[in-house]
A and B are shown apart, each in its own frame.
Chain A
Amino acid sequence: MIWLRRLCQLVSLGGFIALLIASLNQLTLLIPENFFLRLDPLILLGVSISARSLALSYIPALLVIVSGLFLGRAFCGYVCPMGTTLEGGKFLVKAKGDKSALTKYSAWKYLLLILILCAALAGISLVFIASPISLITRLYTVIFIPLATFLGEIFLWAIQPLAEYFDWSGLIYLQVNPRYFATAAFVAAFFGTLLVLARISPRLWCRCLCPTGALLSLTSFKPLLRRRVSDACSECGKCQRSCPMQAIPENPRHTSHQECLLCLRCQKVCPEGAISYLGTATSRRAAISPYLPNRRQVVLAGTVGLATGLMSASGLAAVSKSTPVARRTSDALVRPPGALPEKEFLARCMRCAQCSVACPTNILQPTWLDLNLADMFSPSLDARLGPCDPRCTRCSSACPTGAIRELSKDERLWAKVGTAVIVPNKCLAWEHDKKCMICDEVCPFGAIEMIRVKDIPVPVPKVLENRCSGCGYCSHHCPIRPTPAIIVTAQGAQRLMTGSYIETGKRQGLSISLKKQAEPGALPVPSAPGKLPPTYGR
């Protein structure tokens, strides 16, 4: 029956990757692109506490918790793409397979859970440090997508001569939109560490560290579907030694269902055929997980969590000078359009990078240590990598926790993310007297005005702040590299919890609209439209 589990795992991981690829290519499938993220009960609980509101999109996660009553931790063993990836990774690192290694750390997952929830009480979301689905989405996004697009581009480049020879223009003009994401080195190192842990002992993450597993184990004390041992058991102990989760205590007739992933290995190795999961064999007493933390540990974890939360909230965890400013004004980073006010945004954002995947222009980047340790991986806009399309609402529809508000197309237009600022001493026109008006040319809002100033022989650009939405088209196309002569800052960003962006913006004197097309023929011309002017061809 192990093949059935493997099949489930493959289907689940395949689905996860397929959804990611669909999201990357702006395709809508029957299943929402953030489906897997909505399965994680840790995100449901953590975000609901830190945001002080119930995330309704998380009903699937509720079902996963309830599934513990019937199926135990089957979610971990059959569905979780993190578990499958790490299990696959063990082949990569040739795991030694010491299944009992580091067993004394098995309680850490509970402690991590308590730490995250206590930080959430302080209003700081630390879900991102250990939510398996958030982590695995980030891994595939930040590492594998850029790798795949890079290799794809190399492949197309390599076969270009052949494609040109045979004139396969479909292949020649095939587009691979290259993607890059910040923080890749750290994410790679993090997962490298997890793989090393998997080499020491398979499933070490699931066994010792995963707080979602810990949460699920709370409901899977004695599930309907569980390991049952019949009287045929000769207590040979083979099952004990084969259990990757160390869920079989000294007496092999007992099972700690809170640890069991229903991986079925014990059933396979049992020489007596005494173990069944569906059968009616005598069900022995369930053993309480031997790895529950003691009271002292719980208090410690809770205190650390609260302290982390308070440190982040107070700005003591700052790694950048701009953090204290950011705490007050939400002005430090350019956040995606529709992002809630900074505090609410960070309380909800669980750093899955799903918005970065969905973003068609690659402008949406995970933040590194720009602000605060607790702000790591939160998305911000870097216009050097791409512009923010004013008609696009992909990030908000990809966000599973509502950290980015879903907006109508009209409202979206007014969701100003910041304001462009010209750096005159870098600008080709202002500083170098060169004819350049690319910023004006590409601005979708008509927010750049070319003006004449004294002593400069060419027209120079000026930003009309009330028309600018901070989309970054100007910055992205500015010929000055690596730091453009026109940059977008978060100044003037509209961050609304509720209410209309249009009404608020208008009240503040904004006038945001896409460049309008003039009525054709509106120009007073010397001769009637279409007639050749008299000066022509004398």
Chain B
Amino acid sequence: MAGMLALPKAASFSGAIPNGVASNWRQIMDRRQFLKYHMQGALYVAAGAAGFIWPSTSLAKDSPDVVIVEGDPAKATRAAVERLGGMKKFVKAGDRVVIKPNMSFAQPLEAGTNTHPQVVRTIAVMCREAGAKKVMVLDHPLHRESECVRLAGIQAACQGLDGIEVHMLTSQRLFANTKLPAAQEMLESEIAREVLRSEVLIAAPVAKSHADTGVSLGMKGMMGLVYDRHIMHRRYNLDNSIVDMCTKLKANLSVVDASRVLTSGGPAGPGDVLLADTVIASSDMVAADATTVALFPWYGKRKRPEEIEHLVLAHKRGLGRIDIDSLKVQKVKL
């Protein structure tokens, strides 16, 4: 996975921000490093333009960058992924897939703190249809595990589906200490072993507000695949360490469940829950988050992605794009 992750940064950015240069806004580079980065960046761009690597760049010409679908959660999810080019674009036969929804609160669907079970189920089923060997739905619960399982309803929705499993990550043995080579602050982290042995990572967050980070979407949600989340609050700058984490936990596909949007009081609620019946999908997890931010009112106000610090940092560091006005967006109403 690491190899796949490194490539799209340069390629999908059409050379505007070569690998890691713009991101080092705190670090001073020596000339040799600077040249090295630029050489690498230029190579990737050249290769990308020639179509050698990153086949999806050529596909991307036909399919949109971001899809916004309004409708029933299950149908909207399916439609959104289809419009992006279908699940086969992300999942190859025999792949292991990890889906990261929100299911860490012992609260019912109405609270808007957990992902809609039908969204998760649909993604999982589509992965299997695309030939995935195994689909693991994982989260690190904050409340009592059994209560989270019961109230989030995701396990119940995936019950009996062959090759699809829903598990809660609580034991430290399920995580492995992992170096984050592209990180700035948090140079290593204990990351779910299942992710490290999987080919595909799919973010399936519910759209919700967050008192610290503005919103909790695909990027912030990846904290559920990390063992020690508290250290990100305690030792590091939270926003920057989220980006550090996402350099490793970069979703290949992000499907944001905005069937309900917790527009205030997040991430735990209670807050204002907006019934939006919308699903946002993109192969760029930052763009999916940015689009979601612009789509709904947060804390009663309109926000632009530029106001969300971890999204801005992600853009600067080349993880994805928040310049949503220049993205190819497809809107569908079912």
CB atoms of A529 and B275 under 8 A apart: yes
CB atoms of B331 and A175 under 8 A apart: no
In this complex, how many residues of chain B approach chain A with their Cβ under 8 Å: the count is: 61
Residues of B within 8 A of A446 (CB): 270
**Quick check: is A172 within 8 A (CB to CB) of the other chain?**
yes
The stretch among A15-23, A153-161, A231-239 that forms the contact with chain B is A153-161
**Quick check: is A521 within 8 A (CB to CB) of the other chain?**
yes
A444 to B173, CA, bound (A): 28
CB atoms of A521 and B273 under 8 A apart: yes
CB atoms of A438 and B230 under 8 A apart: yes
Residues of B within 8 A of A535 (CB): 294, 302
**8 Å CB interface, A403-442 against B:** 428, 434-438, 440-442
CB atoms of A515 and B213 under 8 A apart: no
**Quick check: is A169 within 8 A (CB to CB) of the other chain?**
yes
**Quick check: is B212 within 8 A (CB to CB) of the other chain?**
yes
Chain B: CB-nearest residue to A526? B297
CB atoms of A435 and B213 under 8 A apart: yes
Chain B: CB-nearest residue to A459? B211
Partner of A532, one of B107, B145, B331: B331
**Quick check: is A369 within 8 A (CB to CB) of the other chain?**
no
A450 to B268, CA, bound (A): 13
A528 to chain B, nearest CB (A): 10
B88 to chain A, nearest CB (A): 23
CB atoms of B212 and A530 under 8 A apart: no
With contacts A167-B134, A450-B211 taken as known, whether A361 is within 8 angstroms of B325 at the C-beta atoms is no
**8 Å CB interface, A511-538 against B:** 515-526, 529-530, 532-533, 535-538
CB atoms of B273 and A518 under 8 A apart: yes
Residues of B within 8 A of A524 (CB): 300
Residues of B within 8 A of A428 (CB): 233-234
CB atoms of A530 and B145 under 8 A apart: no
A473 to B147, CA, bound (A): 14
**8 Å CB interface, B76-111 against A:** 106-108, 110-111
CB atoms of B260 and A437 under 8 A apart: no
A16 to chain B, nearest CB (A): 26
Residues of B within 8 A of A156 (CB): 171, 173
Residues of A within 8 A of B174 (CB): 172-173
Residues of A within 8 A of B270 (CB): 446, 515-518
Residues of A within 8 A of B324 (CB): 537
**Quick check: is A391 within 8 A (CB to CB) of the other chain?**
yes
A441 to B213, CA, bound (A): 13
Chain A: CB-nearest residue to B266? A441
CB atoms of A533 and B297 under 8 A apart: yes
**8 Å CB interface, A344-374 against B:** 360-361
A529 to B274, CA, bound (A): 7
A536 to B329, CA, bound (A): 10
CB atoms of A157 and B142 under 8 A apart: no
**Quick check: is B26 within 8 A (CB to CB) of the other chain?**
no
With contacts A434-B238, A442-B268, A520-B273 taken as known, whether A479 is within 8 angstroms of B233 at the C-beta atoms is yes
CB atoms of A169 and B278 under 8 A apart: no
**Quick check: is A7 within 8 A (CB to CB) of the other chain?**
no
**Quick check: is B231 within 8 A (CB to CB) of the other chain?**
yes
CB atoms of B268 and A515 under 8 A apart: yes
B37 to chain A, nearest CB (A): 31
Partner of B167, one of A173, A176, A441, A450: A173
A95 to chain B, nearest CB (A): 40
Residues of A within 8 A of B234 (CB): 428, 434, 436, 479-480
A440 to B233, CA, bound (A): 14
**Quick check: is B136 within 8 A (CB to CB) of the other chain?**
yes
A175 to B144, CA, bound (A): 13
CB atoms of B297 and A523 under 8 A apart: yes
**Quick check: is B271 within 8 A (CB to CB) of the other chain?**
yes
Residues of B within 8 A of A444 (CB): 106, 143
A172 to B192, CA, bound (A): 12
**Quick check: is B323 within 8 A (CB to CB) of the other chain?**
no
CB atoms of A533 and B295 under 8 A apart: yes
A156 to B325, CA, bound (A): 50
In this complex, how many residues of chain A approach chain B with their Cβ under 8 Å: the count is: 54
Chain A: CB-nearest residue to B277? A530
CB atoms of B300 and A523 under 8 A apart: yes
- Chain B 133-158, CB within 8 Å of chain A: the 1/0 string? 01010000011111100000000000
CB atoms of A442 and B70 under 8 A apart: no
A446 to B270, CA, bound (A): 8
A320 to B321, CA, bound (A): 60
Chain A: CB-nearest residue to B258? A530
**Quick check: is A87 within 8 A (CB to CB) of the other chain?**
no
CB atoms of A441 and B275 under 8 A apart: no
CB atoms of B268 and A520 under 8 A apart: no
- Chain B 281-322, CB within 8 Å of chain A: the 1/0 string? 000000000000011110010100000000000000000000
CB atoms of B142 and A538 under 8 A apart: no
Residues of B within 8 A of A435 (CB): 212-213, 233, 238-239
CB atoms of A153 and B171 under 8 A apart: yes
With contacts A169-B165, A428-B234 taken as known, whether A521 is within 8 angstroms of B325 at the C-beta atoms is no
CB atoms of A517 and B107 under 8 A apart: yes
CB atoms of A176 and B171 under 8 A apart: yes
A164 to B194, CA, bound (A): 9
Residues of A within 8 A of B239 (CB): 435
Residues of B within 8 A of A459 (CB): 211
With contacts A515-B268, A533-B297 taken as known, whether A440 is within 8 angstroms of B211 at the C-beta atoms is yes
Residues of B within 8 A of A517 (CB): 107-108, 110-112, 269-270, 273
**Quick check: is B267 within 8 A (CB to CB) of the other chain?**
yes
Chain B: CB-nearest residue to A443? B268
**Quick check: is B252 within 8 A (CB to CB) of the other chain?**
no
Residues of B within 8 A of A434 (CB): 233-234, 238
**8 Å CB interface, B161-194 against A:** 165, 167-168, 170-171, 173-174, 193-194
A517 to B110, CA, bound (A): 7
Partner of A441, one of B147, B173, B264, B267: B267
A523 to B297, CA, bound (A): 10
A503 to B240, CA, bound (A): 48
**Quick check: is B68 within 8 A (CB to CB) of the other chain?**
yes
A521 to B261, CA, bound (A): 9
With contacts A153-B171, A479-B231 taken as known, whether A440 is within 8 angstroms of B268 at the C-beta atoms is yes
**Quick check: is A477 within 8 A (CB to CB) of the other chain?**
yes
CB atoms of B273 and A537 under 8 A apart: no
A530 to B263, CA, bound (A): 13
- Name the residue among B108, B173, B264, B271 with the largest chain A CB count within 10 angstroms: B173
Chain B: CB-nearest residue to A436? B233
**8 Å CB interface, B246-262 against A:** 260
CB atoms of B197 and A521 under 8 A apart: no
CB atoms of B295 and A536 under 8 A apart: yes
A441 to B194, CA, bound (A): 27
A346 to chain B, nearest CB (A): 29
CB atoms of B260 and A438 under 8 A apart: no
**Quick check: is B272 within 8 A (CB to CB) of the other chain?**
yes
Chain B: CB-nearest residue to A535? B302
6 of the cross-chain contacts (CB-CB < 8 Å) are A441-B211, A444-B106, A518-B265, A522-B272, A524-B300, A536-B295
Q: 13 more A-B contacts (CB under 8 A) besides A434-B234, A515-B268, A523-B300?
A: A153-B173, A164-B197, A173-B167, A175-B170, A428-B234, A435-B213, A441-B142, A446-B270, A479-B230, A479-B231, A520-B112, A521-B275, A536-B295
Q: Which 5 A-B pairs have the closest CB atoms?
A: A479-B230, A523-B272, A435-B212, A479-B234, A436-B233
Which residues of B does A touch, CB under 8 Å?
Answer: 68, 70, 106-108, 110-112, 134, 136, 142-147, 165, 167-168, 170-171, 173-174, 193-194, 197, 211-213, 230-231, 233-234, 238-239, 260, 263-265, 267-278, 294-297, 300, 302, 324-325, 329, 331
